[in-house]
Structure 1
């Protein structure tokens, strides 16, 4: 497995620690918004300094659990009435307890509305920013059920069997009983939580931290070679032994990437933007912003759509410019795949005309292959990403060679959105997707290839150092046609037609259907 590039985590921690130290030396409290409709932040109310619990003492574990469970419900408040200092019961700058995140998950799971869910997530993130900003990136990744950007290819690589064995080993349970309970409950996290609650502890473990959980997840993902599964199981067991209260439930669900709390990524992005406004220290809203909270949520969502990399976004949020500087600092970046623009099914051709009356629109063939986003760098290297931003370069060495040869000489870099389709070049015929799925998936060499593919290009997102996302499809398509040489069976442009006549559209649809037979 190719190791991912260095994360921004180390640099972020250094900067955040320095910021936290500086903050503790200053007397004025952090500014905050009092009302969602206010145009600029207002100072927070003074709150009494809480009694802080010693961090590294295992004997303090019970006290920390009790105190956190008492304070965590405060995160359900309307953000305009919430003060993050009311939740913090540990020394600022110390690692955030994993229990805080678990309790937040629990509260979100009990909420049915999107607004209430966003409020809890926002207040959680504000608490982290206030107490230990260096942990913000880790909390965001865990809320997103990830440990790295998708294009880094860093995955835990574990299945339910290994997790089930770790639960059995950690809590001294019969593996068969654990499996039976899992089948009955349908949730291995609930099995782990029940197993933990029924187990008596000889000594109280030190509180589990978000940093410990996140770093252990990285260790699990990086285990390779002989006995790697046993090593992964050992790491999981160590976390379960330290987990208390509802922590085992969410540890297991995070390992399975199934939180089951109803917090979608769009909710997380909105909460992150709002939290940045409430905790804003690095900049003020630009003039003319009527609703800073709504605008900040919109900015974070838009930025993430063109740069889906939390390392870069969170790092920028904690530096000068803050959320308002995101669009200038976090732009479309070559080598970081953007999310695909997806189609929406309709029932008839007439529905198109009802939606787009008196407007010319374009139609394209839908090809039965795999979506690919091809990034060609200035240095001549190529990366291919799937629709889920997974790195597929090793699966398509023939595609790498084709785009490198068929790009025009004036093209130095590009991002091509396309479909890779199995193709019989002798018969000049598209083959079914099932044929394409027989190709090997990793470390493929040109001599290994038994199934040829044709690249059907339909959009160009980046060209010669310039992002084209803000250009119209018409302009992007013109750039596409001008940037590549077509070669039958190797690289072709998607068949398309532009019209506002229903007869033309109906005929084109029939042609597309017949072309597949």
Structure 2
């Protein structure tokens, strides 16, 4: 296909607004693609390479502006292109506004251009992506100039957008999936599954055309070819237990997502965006070679650690971004693996296996570095796991459906990040318990009460989550003078101090004198600005419970 035809079709698609019309137009494009099918399937999405391939053109805006200016003629500079972009807001419109080809010999005298084909554009861009070393920037400009110089106004519009990954014609992944299914008469479900395991829209389109549904069904995960990560959405423990009856609970780490591919010899480490970060994380490569027993694809997080404590997320980003002097960076910021899922093991795809089975397989093949998974319906146990995670310096917990399959690229209800507390109460501390172990000298579990209209205080829960050791020391110093009585580890505290507490839900409960209990309460701070008379009343608690 000539690139001019692709540009014309892209322009037609850009002018459509209805999803069905866009899908139909992309379907027509794929049906007429012939040998250019794989390339066109990518180009229409604004991609030069398959989604799994971390190869990039490495063309920044300034290089693109320079090539456009050079093709536009001697009186145009890169600054002129940038100024025009500020006015027009679209690099495609800017490129299309110039008359290219003026420096191409006979073209200047009206002899016409050498028509570009889609295959030529793909080949030239692949060559451009491979240019490295001294003088590479000039070479890339030369290649891009050569392409621009052979384009019409409409071709230039979409070439410039393609180079900067700004196609913006309303074609998303779902559009292309449906177009592949429609063009080659294969089920959408089979197309979706094939896309999940291959992460290559061009390849799936070709297989759908040439081999139909049986060919799509044969596509499998390949070690070394990353797929999109399964994602989580915000949710609550209540949501999880109501939907699944019991939940798989994991610590939530403040790390960076990685997908690790091991073929028995070589290790590849890929970021959430499928960027190859293998060279930046040599200790992860070493760990996998020493501890992973079979070829596999493993999902997890890499966390930055120091003296057994997690470091802020920014520290792990320093490692991911490091391309030079990695050995020094390794000394400055140590990283460790926390693996939590297994997509493939020893030749077997596990995407359709339930979470618990995948986790069992992960533990069987990886000796160490596996995040614990606890399946439970016990709210107290869930709260304890969350408290332990926070105490260890991590972010809390993940909630996962124990029976869930692994859906690459999907964000659904089967994985939940415990939603931050959406409501708070200011409650009076009326009791506490001394801690154990290293916290034996601190008050560590605090009894919370709401005031009543007659000046009494009715209990409605205990809070022990969200409190650091330093905060416990300060709270003990604050509350110890107000201890009214003690029996064993339990103390009564005179109502003098107000805590701000977040919670997930208020439920009726005979456990506490208020008749209500806070589900998953979390300490947020001391309200030094409030007296106990200003604390929240039981009436407000009742009103909040009714409005849930």
What is the CA–CA distance in structure 2 between the aligned matches of 1:197 and 1:229, rounded to whole Å? 21
Structure 1 unpaired stretches of 5+: 1-95, 278-291, 487-491
Q: Corresponding residue for 1:138?
A: 39
Aligned length: 385
8 Å Cα contact 2:54/2:275 also seen in 1? yes
Q: CA RMSD in A?
A: 2.3
- Seen in structure 2, the aligned counterparts of structure 1 residues 444 and 157 have a Cα distance that, compared at 3 Å, is same
8 Å Cα contact 1:394/1:441 also seen in 2? no
Deviates more, 1:365-374 or 1:119-128: 365-374
Q: TM-score, normalised by structure 1?
A: 0.70
Q: Corresponding residue for 2:71?
A: 170
Please, which of 129, 152, 158 is the counterpart of residue 244 of structure 1?
152
What is the CA–CA distance in structure 1 between the aligned matches of 2:45 and 2:81, rounded to whole Å? 28
What per-residue deviation string (whole Å, max 9, x for no partner) do you get for residues 272-306 of structure 1? 222122xxxxxxxxxxxxxx5xx1x2212211101
What is the CA–CA distance in structure 2 between the aligned matches of 1:504 and 1:191, rounded to whole Å? 60
8 Å Cα contact 2:246/2:376 also seen in 1? yes
8 Å Cα contact 2:71/2:149 also seen in 1? yes
- Residue 367 (structure 2) pairs with residue 367 (structure 1): no
What is the CA–CA distance in structure 2 between the aligned matches of 1:443 and 1:317, rounded to whole Å? 43
Q: TM-score, normalised by structure 2?
A: 0.66
What is the CA–CA distance in structure 1 between the aligned matches of 2:373 and 2:309, rounded to whole Å? 18
Report the secondary structure of 2:167's partner residue: coil
Structure 2 unpaired stretches of 5+: 394-467, 469-548
Within-5 A mapping of 1:97-496: 97-128=2-33, 133-172=34-73, 173-175=75-77, 176-196=79-99, 201-203=108-110, 204-277=112-185, 295=187, 297-310=188-201, 312-319=203-210, 321-328=211-218, 330-346=219-235, 348-354=236-242, 356=243, 359-378=245-264, 380-407=265-292, 411-424=293-306, 427-439=307-319, 441-442=322-323, 446=327, 449-450=330-331, 451-486=333-368, 492-496=369-373
Deviation at 1:152, TM superposition (A): 3.8
Report the secondary structure of 2:116's partner residue: coil
- Seen in structure 2, the aligned counterparts of structure 1 residues 150 and 446 have a Cα distance that, compared at 3 Å, is farther
What per-residue deviation string (whole Å, max 9, x for no partner) do you get for residues 386-410 of structure 1? 1122211111111111111123xxx
Report the secondary structure of 2:252's partner residue: coil
- Seen in structure 2, the aligned counterparts of structure 1 residues 198 and 231 have a Cα distance that, compared at 3 Å, is closer
8 Å Cα contact 2:9/2:29 also seen in 1? yes
What per-residue deviation string (whole Å, max 9, x for no partner) do you get for residues 340-371 of structure 1? 1001123x4333344x15x2121222211111
Deviation at 1:268, TM superposition (A): 1.0
Report the secondary structure of 2:304's partner residue: strand
Task: Pick 1 or 2: higher relative contact order, CA cutoff 8 A, min separation 6.
Answer: 1
Deviation at 1:150, TM superposition (A): 4.4
8 Å Cα contact 1:150/1:388 also seen in 2? no
What is the CA–CA distance in structure 1 between the aligned matches of 2:38 and 2:193, rounded to whole Å? 19
* Higher-helix-fraction structure: 1
- Seen in structure 2, the aligned counterparts of structure 1 residues 448 and 433 have a Cα distance that, compared at 3 Å, is closer
What is the CA–CA distance in structure 1 between the aligned matches of 2:61 and 2:377, rounded to whole Å? 52
